[in-house]
Amino acid sequence: GAGVSQSPSNKVTEKGKDVELRCDPISGHTALYWYRQSLGQGLEFLIYFQGNSAPDKSGLPSDRFSAERTGGSVSTLTIQRTQQEDSAVYLCASSLGTSGRGPYEQYFGPGTRLTVT
Amino acid sequence: KNQVEQSPQSLIILEGKNCTLQCNYTVSPFSNLRWYKQDTGRGPVSLTIMTFSENTKSNGRYTATLDADTKQSSLHITASQLSDSASYICVVSLFRGSTLGRLYFGRGTQLTVWP
């Protein structure tokens, strides 16, 4: 079946603009995760959803970052008033769940490369 | 402070040789440890997942070990192939009861396999 998809694949935006990144998880996966990977840095956890709720938002770097998930499926990560330090690859992953018999394997999308000029 | 440290930062080996990558962590309480392979420009792909009760897990030519007492893990790659060239990332999950805890990522080991 289809894997995790993300759009756009690349986004160039001017400093101060808002951007929305989209993630379509694998069908049936209840858990969805957002990560950020800056150049030369490791992956950074941002937020995860179990269904439509986000139990852990502690990874969001500032209040300019927000995410939502509707219908237990698609998620959007919104960055307001973008800054140059927001430039990174934003990765989304999904898994069957987060609780119970886990740990559940996470399947990653190809990422969105965000460049803030 | 919860951290994951990987070594070496980069490694070059000849095709057919074996290698071992290291991961040390201070994440506590610990839930599970994962090794991912990330090809350039692609998302990470899971290789192994181990809970605290597991000492070793294999996936083809990849074998991961875990010592939860010393908080160390290793990933051993046997008979390396050119396609093994990638970044290998160690990820440790914080324990939060029956639900997912926050994930902590190492910076990865960049492996290059030469013919």
pLDDT of residue B53: 86
- Nearest alpha-carbon partner for B3 in B102, B110, B109, B98: B102
Q: For tokens 């950020």, name the residue.
A: A36
CB < 8 Å to A109, chain B: 43
Nearest to A29, CA basis, from A77, A76, A93: A93
Confidence bin at A1 (pLDDT 50/70/90) = low
Which residues, in sequence order, are bridge partners of residue A10? A113
Is the CB of residue B39 less than 8 Å from the CB of residue B86? yes
Give the lowest-confidence range in A55-59, A108-112, B18-22: A55-59
| The pair of three-digit structure tokens given for residue B82, joined into one six-digit string | 């050119």
Q: How far apart are CA B90 and CA B73, in angstroms?
A: 9
SS3 assignment, position A81: coil
CA distance A61 to B92: 20
Kindly determine whether residue A99 and residue B99, on different chains, have CB atoms separated by under 8 Å.
yes
Of the partner residues B51, B89, B100, the one whose CB lies closest to the CB of residue A48? B100
Task: Say if strands A43-50 and A53-56 run parallel, antiparallel, or are unpaired.
Answer: antiparallel
Q: Which residues of B touch A (CB under 8 A)?
A: 31-32, 34, 41-46, 49, 51, 89, 91, 93, 98-108
Phi/psi of residue B83, nearest 5 degrees: -70, -10
What pLDDT does residue A66 have? 96
Q: How confident is the model at residue A98 (pLDDT cuts 50, 70, 90)?
A: low
- Among candidates B100, B102, B106 on the partner chain, residue whose Cβ is nearest the Cβ of A58: B102
**Average pLDDT taken over every residue of chain A:** 90
What six digits make up the tokens of A89?
């690859």
pLDDT at B100: 62
With an 8 Å Cβ cutoff, are A43 and B49 in contact?
A: no
The answer, for A94 touching chain B at a CB cutoff of 8 Å, is: no
By the CB < 8 Å criterion, does A43 face chain B? yes
pLDDT in tens, B46-76: 999 998 889 999 999 999 999 999 999 999 9
State which amino acid sits at residue B1. K
> Residue A96: its chain B contacts at CB < 8 A?
none
